[in-house]
A and B are shown apart, each in its own frame.
Chain A
Amino acid sequence: MSLNTLGYYWREAFLSIFRNGWLSLASVGTVTISLLILGISVLLVMNAQAFTKSLESGVEIRVFLENGATREEIRDMEKELKKTPGVATVEFVSRDEALEEMRENLGDRKDILEGLEEDNPLPDAFKIKAEKANDVPALASQMEKLEKVDQVNYGRGIVEKLLAVIKWVRLAGGGLMVILGVAALLLISTTIRLSLFARRREIGIMKFLGATNWFVRFPFLLEGMILGFVGAAIASSVVYLGYVSLVNRLDEVLPFVTLVTDRQILLTVTGGLMGIGIVVGALGSAFSVRKYIQV
């Protein structure tokens, strides 16, 4: 492929894009919107996952023991718990320590606990941390079955809810993305069909002049790829800039909410969007080109 030919391809592709201005705009718009949704859902899922990960250390299981367990029994149990797969750390909290902890938490109003030293209502307990947040529900129900265990508590709900949110975001984002992706494909393919139609004379002439199929097709493929690329570039920039500014703003307003701020990840996401945009554009035009250019 000579430089001359390459220049010809680009010239023809851009000419076509401007000739079908409105449809090109619509194609670019659809690509942008579908990739925006993809980008946003990917970032949402990534943050939700990072958040569950940070919860892994935060979510602890509290295993409350029945009254009257002996020191021996407690020691054996601690050993057994430590051996359980999926358990990261086990810490014993005696009833006295629990009361002390509660008193500290209450601060100025610790007087309401006055007199409880004699008749401490709190049970002995283990604080257990799981290796993975995912395992917490299973571990908890497993521990409920142990002897001498009265009750098992953990941030019931939070973990499940978070996992459900991730699933939902994936599903909804994925579904929307597929629908809009198909729309983008169809629109690009229609745009290319119009370009083909506008230039059918020229295509006919090219064929009797002995142009190879690739020579005839390539400008149209390029046109589709450019449309996809432009759409993806807009989506990527919006996602990138929007996310960076969101991170900065959240840092001021809600300093305890931590978002994924790894530049590398953000670049990977936007790079992926660009790649998908170009592929969608090429596919969309390939449909039309295959259908309408025959030797």
Chain B
Amino acid sequence: MIQLYNVSKIYSNGVKALNDVTLHVRKGEFVFLVGPSGAGKSSLIKIVFREELPSRGQALFSGKNIARLKGREIPHLRRKIGMVFQDFRLLPQKTAYENVAFAMQVVGAGKRAIRNRVPEVLAQVGLEEKTGMMPAQLSGGEQQRVCIARAIVNNPVMIIADEPTGNLDPDTSWELMNLFNEINSKGTTIVMATHAREIVDTMKKRVLSMTAGRITRDEEGGVYSNES
């Protein structure tokens, strides 16, 4: 699914965010990306999502070189990837329903398809009662559920979550983790950057640990950190 070969990223201000990263993520995997802030997790995500180009090395998604995508192919890459952010990034003036429907409008889905699919996903994330509410009326966990619904509504092959539980309490975080697990069990690849030590340690998934732009540990069924 994701193949990186010797990828380095040096920003124009000289910051070296990624240093010779080689990495494979296979279809259907659930991967935790851990490491301190500034270790390069976000840069890695940005390269896969084609927000940034690698300075060196090759990055492939589904066998296609991401850097060589033409401008009009980029949206189609992004439709295959559902994004979930720490800060949710919902449209504040739209209801939960409308926020999810928006993701379908953006890719040109028809009215009927939207009417059928949106309630279905909102039910899947457990928000069938709150479809008409504005983001401000929802709790953080509920807002994140809307984001997850929005991320999966177009049936992506992969979900990239950038610290999805960073703003949430432990109980809520666990509920969301169960949701991610469920989505993963249906075949969707999940890559999740996180600082939630307890979650990583408990879930026993593949863990990629980054430090200073390098992958320092790649462990199946790993824990957040080997120290202590």
> Other than the known A4-B105, A207-B75, A207-B78, what 10 A-B pairs have Cβ atoms closer than 8 Å?
A3-B111, A4-B108, A4-B110, A201-B91, A209-B83, A209-B102, A210-B77, A210-B78, A211-B106, A215-B106
Whole-angstrom distance between the alpha carbons of A170 and B10 in the complex?
58
Candidates B71, B74, B106, B114; contact of A209 at CB < 8 Å: B106
Chain A residues within 8 Å of B71, by CB:
213, 295
Quick check: is A264 within 8 A (CB to CB) of the other chain?
no
Whole-angstrom distance between the alpha carbons of A248 and B83 in the complex?
67
User: By the criterion CB–CB under 8 Å, are A5 and B105 in contact?
Assistant: yes
Size category of the B interface is 20 to 34
Whole-angstrom distance between the alpha carbons of A295 and B78 in the complex?
11
Whole-angstrom distance between the alpha carbons of A202 and B74 in the complex?
18
Chain B nearest CB from A238 CB (Å) reads 37
- Beyond A2-B110, A5-B105, whether A210 also contacts B75 by CB under 8 A is yes
A169-205 interface code vs B (CB 8 A; 1 in, 0 out): 0000000000000000000000000000000011011
- Beyond A211-B75, A212-B72, A212-B75, whether A206 also contacts B106 by CB under 8 A is yes
Candidates B107, B114, B150; contact of A211 at CB < 8 Å: B107
User: By the criterion CB–CB under 8 Å, are B107 and A1 in contact?
Assistant: no
Quick check: is A292 within 8 A (CB to CB) of the other chain?
no
Quick check: is B21 within 8 A (CB to CB) of the other chain?
no
- Where chain B touches its partner, the secondary structure class is helix
Quick check: is B136 within 8 A (CB to CB) of the other chain?
no
Quick check: is A256 within 8 A (CB to CB) of the other chain?
no
User: By the criterion CB–CB under 8 Å, are A202 and B75 in contact?
Assistant: no
Chain B residues within 8 Å of A209, by CB:
78-79, 83, 102-103, 106-107, 150, 154
Which A residues fall within an 8 A CB radius of B? 1-5, 8, 201-202, 204-213, 215, 295
Whole-angstrom distance between the alpha carbons of A1 and B106 in the complex?
11
Q: Would you give 6 A-B contacts (Cβ < 8 Å), ordered by A?
A: A5-B105, A8-B105, A205-B89, A209-B102, A209-B150, A210-B76
Closest to A212 in B: B75
Q: What is the total of A-B residue contacts with beta carbons within 8 Å?
A: 57
Chain A residues within 8 Å of B78, by CB:
207-210
Closest to A294 in B: B71
- Beyond A208-B83, A209-B102, whether A4 also contacts B76 by CB under 8 A is no
- Beyond A4-B111, A201-B91, A202-B91, whether A213 also contacts B105 by CB under 8 A is no
Quick check: is B49 within 8 A (CB to CB) of the other chain?
yes
Near A by CB (< 8 A), chain B positions 99-118 give 102-103, 105-111, 114
Near A by CB (< 8 A), chain B positions 139-165 give 150, 154
Chain A nearest CB from B136 CB (Å) reads 14
Chain A residues within 8 Å of B105, by CB:
4-5, 8
Whole-angstrom distance between the alpha carbons of A211 and B75 in the complex?
6
The residue among B77, B89, B106 with the most chain A CB atoms within 10 A of its own CB is B106
User: By the criterion CB–CB under 8 Å, are B108 and A2 in contact?
Assistant: yes
User: By the criterion CB–CB under 8 Å, are B109 and A4 in contact?
Assistant: yes
Chain A residues within 8 Å of B79, by CB:
209-210
- Beyond A212-B75, A213-B71, A295-B74, whether A5 also contacts B91 by CB under 8 A is no
Whole-angstrom distance between the alpha carbons of A201 and B94 in the complex?
13
Whole-angstrom distance between the alpha carbons of A7 and B78 in the complex?
24
Closest to B153 in A: A209
Chain B residues within 8 Å of A210, by CB:
75-79, 106-107, 154
Whole-angstrom distance between the alpha carbons of A5 and B111 in the complex?
9
Chain A residues within 8 Å of B108, by CB:
1-2, 4-5, 215
Chain B residues within 8 Å of A201, by CB:
89, 91
Whole-angstrom distance between the alpha carbons of A27 and B22 in the complex?
53
Chain B residues within 8 Å of A5, by CB:
105, 108
User: By the criterion CB–CB under 8 Å, are B49 and A208 in contact?
Assistant: yes
Closest to A4 in B: B111
Closest to B79 in A: A210
Chain A residues within 8 Å of B76, by CB:
210
